[in-house]
Structure 1
């Protein structure tokens, strides 16, 4: 209970990827970590392992009916949302995303001038929040309002920890986090619903459809009565998809760079060489080879999606273990990404393991930070753009100093974020170089 993310990973690695029955009182789910078994659940037999059951209830209290559902609701949501996250669409957003991130990073000069430490998770979330809101929402939401969204989503993501660890506790019984969760959900609705109604009145702006107007057109055509509620659910799901993984990956990154100064130095050198004194542009992302290797390794050791739950809807077998219909299975990327059979020195942070993927033979399902199969995360293309742009913008201006190094544990919420604060101090890069 003190460190469930790590303990689940230990169970998987100590069992060498075999199926493990986890005893949680009356609730006994199966832990899945071997890549063969991951492939079976997420791809080969994905229709038999549905996103249903106890683990999904706390998440769906806020995301509602949308891309995180199953059946017709999921098919409809995917049909509408998938094109909006395709590489072609992401590329079209790239310039606007780069501008939004650059504008927001410049504002950190205030922290640099005072030298006062700040909370890294909060600031990374704020940067990503502004970029996502500006690009995806088409400027329909003010900055002041958008800045109210980020902490409410963070509350939702963290306050469900108790429900995830003890999913069998009925909702009639109030547990720690419930009150904060319900309050945050209410505050999110008070922001999102007026935004939808405003977009409905105004229609498409300047002939350029944005995410909200696109969703409204599709959903109202499908079901005029429930369309607005469905747009609300879609927007909440998209916002979480586009912000949470990126913000948490960036948060873990600064602790990693503190522990590996040689990697930090090489990262600065690459960014200096590729970007120089100019602004960071989307075309730089593909040239930042080492930066992308570092990101891959952060995703391996600290995958934001630490738990992928499923429920078997028919009797089956995984790794020689009979799984009855109605049983819950938990896929743990944290465990799979650490299995010695598939990773040399699995606990060592080594970006070089990603240096030459053309010659590396690795099980396709040994690494799946965005899930896999039909339910793979739609936001991964956006992540591949957002995260390098944020890192490159920060490291062209500052050296980030971790002021409270310590052993970190992962908080088991909707994503795995450090339980301890990541406090950062900014040193302007020119001053840093003269020293």
Structure 2
């Protein structure tokens, strides 16, 4: 299905300006994500939403997604919308950098994250997933006690990132760093969603927790860098930190500056474990609600893997497993939307977009657009059969964003999720706690307001 808009047809930009009371009532009733979905369904694919003195342009149609991210990309960047993320958490690392600073970092780091480049982390994916299997068998399998699935997935993906980036052990260190990162991300997400902005210098309990967590994580990364510089380079482990420290930019001839090493180390940990953990937690939820999909997945895994862990070549024989992953990313993208700020005047589908416009690309809605997806709310992995995927609009699916600023870690995350799905689904069935209905909403990233408690059963 492929419905295109004519960019030659003039359009009048629709505006929606809810009162504060209307906005708060709607969000309380539907959640922030539900309110945005209702707004899109009522007002259409291109709409300006005014909230007090602030306004944003909501972009949903795949043709508009293409313009903002690809064909008109020079007029959009990560501007003011990312200021709080820069100032409070990620500095000027790869996610938040702009202009030539971003291009230089991308040139340096992109080779580490190609499909072939991320295969070097395959043994880490296997090892950390096997540890989780052993933990579940010993502590949770058949216990009748539900576990919070997001916490379980956060624990294993944090271990993967810690080993892949820093070559450090997990244990107590992992727990402290993971909890601190989650404190930082949660604080920023809550601040961005709150109509009342409290300055960071105000000593509220939340601000104090944030500052302690930021200090701990920053000191941890700085110590790792200093410890590595104190030994001969030939003794440095072959991980992502070493690659960032030793790779010289071909155009400028320079190495990554010390502060950028810290910023990117923090970026990889913060962004690299949380989003994959959320994808995996929604994957187990989707399987628990779709028994026929689960049956087909189990049949493929049993046929290909038997009792052995997967190899890289085995993954090529697990196409349905990857289809399941892609369908989870369609219906439950960890980042339901992302911002791009207009840095120059533009025209989008006949509508004038002034410089400075905060543009929100609403991937969660694009992935459910009825003009591009048959039965869009249905969980259907066969959408990702090669011939059906090839027939889709190229920009109707963008769980990692799209264009030059597509998420650098998308290949890493896809491989990690493919491996973990294969290994865990081969051994376990996960069941949502009876009577529990997740309240899915956006909290910076996609989540369930009342958690995802699940029972772990042996297969």
Cα gap change, 1:339 to 1:419, in 2 (>3 Å): same
Count of residues paired in the alignment: 426
CA offsets per residue over residues 399-431 of structure 1, 9 Å max, x none? 2122155333344334212222111222222xx
Residue equivalent to 1:230: 260
Structure 1: segments with no counterpart, 5+ residues: 430-435
Residue equivalent to 2:72: 45
Alignment of 1:388-407 (within 5 A): 388-403=418-433, 405-407=435-437
SS in 1 for 2:145: coil
Q: Is 1:211 matched up with 2:243?
A: no
Residue equivalent to 1:159: 187
SS in 2 for 1:22: strand
**Segment of structure 1 superposing worse, 265-274 or 167-176:** 167-176
**Segment of structure 1 superposing worse, 191-200 or 353-362:** 353-362
Residue equivalent to 1:121: 150
Alignment of 1:21-420 (within 5 A): 21-58=48-85, 60-68=87-95, 69-109=97-137, 110-112=139-141, 114-137=143-166, 139-166=167-194, 169=197, 171=199, 178-204=207-233, 206=235, 209-218=238-247, 227-357=257-387, 360-403=390-433, 405-420=435-450
Q: Does the CA contact (< 8 Å) of 1:98 and 1:282 recur in 2? A: no
Q: Which whole-Å CA distance do the structure 2 matches of 1:309 and 1:51 have between them? A: 7
CA offsets per residue over residues 114-161 of structure 1, 9 Å max, x none? 443211111111111222222332x33553212322222222222223
CA offsets per residue over residues 350-391 of structure 1, 9 Å max, x none? 112222336742211100001011110011111221012111
Structure 2: segments with no counterpart, 5+ residues: 1-26
SS in 2 for 1:340: coil
**Which TM-score applies when normalising by structure 1?**
0.90
Q: Which whole-Å CA distance do the structure 1 matches of 2:253 and 2:197 have between them? A: 36
RMSD: 2.6
**Segment of structure 1 superposing worse, 159-168 or 118-127:** 159-168
Cα gap change, 1:164 to 1:338, in 2 (>3 Å): same
Please report how far the alpha carbon of residue 240 of structure 1 lies from its aligned counterpart in structure 2 after TM superposition. 2.9
Please report how far the alpha carbon of residue 60 of structure 1 lies from its aligned counterpart in structure 2 after TM superposition. 4.8
Q: Which whole-Å CA distance do the structure 2 matches of 1:403 and 1:359 have between them? A: 34
Q: Does the CA contact (< 8 Å) of 1:12 and 1:32 recur in 2? A: no
Cα gap change, 1:115 to 1:98, in 2 (>3 Å): same
SS in 1 for 2:340: strand
CA offsets per residue over residues 247-297 of structure 1, 9 Å max, x none? 100111122222212222222222111111112333222221221111111
